[in-house]
Structures are given as structure tokens and as C-alpha cells.
A and B are shown apart, each in its own frame.
Chain A
């Protein structure tokens, strides 16, 4: 579903006198349908950077990323922003660590807007069901998430990620600020997605969650340590 070949990525900090920080080099990763790959490695190793590269959020310096998109292997290239947008709409979903939404939009709409179906009522119903499943009280559905607690925002974010039904999901610390009950809901959601054939790449610091969902761990090693 997703493959990266010879992927490398670094940052050039022009404001720090052009300081060059290499983060990823020679990454080869392939993910099959229904498979969940956990990115492993210490903090700062570049797990989030890799995840963001796979979403097209960071522009890779070298190597290729290809996605099974609309039935064909499609390169995820910064030179073709419209294809990247289409891939994000149709194929790759991403759950970041933090929720970013237009300030006054209610939670239910934040989630419903991410649904694939065009039918407004069906989207609303899907969003409603997901938020309820993630234990967001009904009273909060109509409230903008800016005022929510960290855990509630995270769950709105998860609902937004899962509602799209994308065949590939990228999860960045999906359970970081969740209590055990909600963590179990997320584990369930991930398992259901896998059984539908969704390919998942995730960063799970919580080893219990990782053991519960991941089929294998892909180690990301810090470049400077390796050097």
C-alpha cells in the first residue's frame, strides 16, 4: 500500500547560519494492506519526521515514496501538490499529536468535514457515532474543541482521522494523553481498521498499545549516533 525507498531527509536552518541537520537516510519501508507497522527508536530519532514525510508534509531530500492510490502506485512528490492533495483526500489519513482546526467550528463539524461521503446527514451521523464511541459527551459535540482538555482534543483528532476511512492511516502518538478506557477504544478502532485492510504506520510510545496493535516494529535509528 505504501513504500519508501532510499528515503533521506534533513533540515537546513538558515537562521542558524545554515546549520544542516540530517535526520533520515536510506530508509526502506513497505507496508501491506491490513498491516500495522510501529516506528521504533529513541526520542529524536526521526520517527515523527518519517511519518510526516510519508504524509507529504515534509519534503523528502532523497529517495521516493509511493502510494497505492486509485489503483496505481503513485509517487508522493512535492512537485505535484494537487496529486498530494488528492492522495490525502482519498488514500492517506493522518492523526497528528495536536488538533488544528478553525477556531469556532464545533467538534461535530470538525469531524464530519473529514468524512468521505457527500451526504451531509450521513456524515453528521458518522461523526456523532465516532465521538460517542470515543466518550466525548454529547453536550460537547456542538462546542468548538479549542476549549477542550488535551485528551478530548486528541479524541476529536482521532475521530477526524478514522472517519475518512482512508486505506492508509498514519498515527502519531494516538494514545499519548488518553486514559486507559479511551486507550482501549483506540486499540479497538485500530484493530477494526486493520481487519478492513487498512495499512497503518504509527508511533506508539505506550508499549502496551504497541504490543496490542503492531505486527512489527520498524526501527528508526538516530543518524548522529550511527555516524
Chain B
């Protein structure tokens, strides 16, 4: 552990400020709480929101797992894991069931989480209405008044043009029957895992300076039409390594002659099931 830094890098005042935002976020599930996002020793877009949330909730006894697109061994995951190993001296792991804190980018672990675990998502764009309504003041009003017709217009357009809803990641969900929420760019396949999860789920958007949360056992419903219900999409294959047939798969190109294989995106799940 590098003792030249404050515990988990952030100063105590900043952590208190973020914890206050987190408490508010937990109290109003799905509602985006503004916070004074700090400069971090990595650029915005590399998980600064998730890191600040992790730094504010991590303690010396925590065991940290960091995944990026489901993998523990990608650059982003490795460097964030090392960052907290150095600044907080915490133990790290790649095994989902051994972790107390999991910071993630673009995936929810395949293994169901427990009540003593916290899942922290890195969020690039917290406002699901962002692409539909350019005015931030207007989207805030829409959120405040629960006017979400516009989001359904987007789904309508997809079905009208493509015959089905084409949103394959960052699928808009309604949290606790109240707030429209961006679940971060996780695949639509992962959205059902958010619903009534036993674990606390926290979301941090560093550049956009927003924090939001889904407390344990909260209802999370993907938006849909009665006659076009939500359908999580996955490649209709089994993992080439562990044979799992109900996990989210990555397609890996193996040569330049059309060779390919499908493997679990969740590397830890895959290793434990071979």
C-alpha cells in the first residue's frame, strides 16, 4: 500500500460529500443526484464516476473485484484494481462470490449477487432521455413529472422501422415504478438481473456529475409495449469453453478466414464452470 495518499485516494471531505449523495440516491431509487465530481488520475470516460463511488464506500476489510465488459483481465479492470490495491491496501479478487465490492463497466456478473455485496457501475450518460430531448432542463422536468411518453416514442420508432425494439444495451428501465433510469451500457440481457437484486447497486457518472442507485429488492422494469414485450437478446449458442448455454456470449474472431468462436463474456463465470 502506498502511504503517500489518503485512504482510497480521495480526501475525507470528498468521500463524505459523495456518501451524502449516495444516501440520497438510495432514498430515491433511480433518481439522479448531482455531486461534485473530482479530477481523478485517469481521464473522464475511463470510469471516474465508478472509482469515486468505490473510493467512498470501500473499507480496509473489503475485497474488491473490477470487471470491464465482463473480463477481469482487461486494461481498465487491471489498472483500477491496482489503483485501489495501492491506495487502500484492500484485497482484490476475480471470483464474484469472494468479492464484497464489484466495480463494473458494461456488464452485470452472471452469478446472482448477495445482500452483503455492492455492485458499482461506471456510467457514461446517466440521462436516458438524453438522445431524444436535447435540453437538459427539459429532461429534468420530464423526470420530475414522470413524463416518459417520449421514451416510448423511441421504442415505437424502433418497432415501426425494424419490427422490434433495437436497443441492445443501456436499455431504459423504470425503477421502483417511478424514475426512468439508464442502467449504464450493460447488455439488455443483463437488465433482468437488476430487478429485485439482493445486492445494493450504485451508479456513478464522473463526467456528468451524477450518482444514482437501486437499493436491494427494488423493482426494475424494462420499458416495453403490451404487444411487444421486453426480450433480452443473446447469441443462440453455447460457450465454446465452458458449455454454458444461458450466459451472455462474446463473439471472438479467431482467424482471417471467417473462423469464430463464442465464449462467455463473464470470464470468472467461465473459468469456474469449465
Direct contact of A and B (CB under 8 A): no
A-side residues, CB < 8 A to B, are none
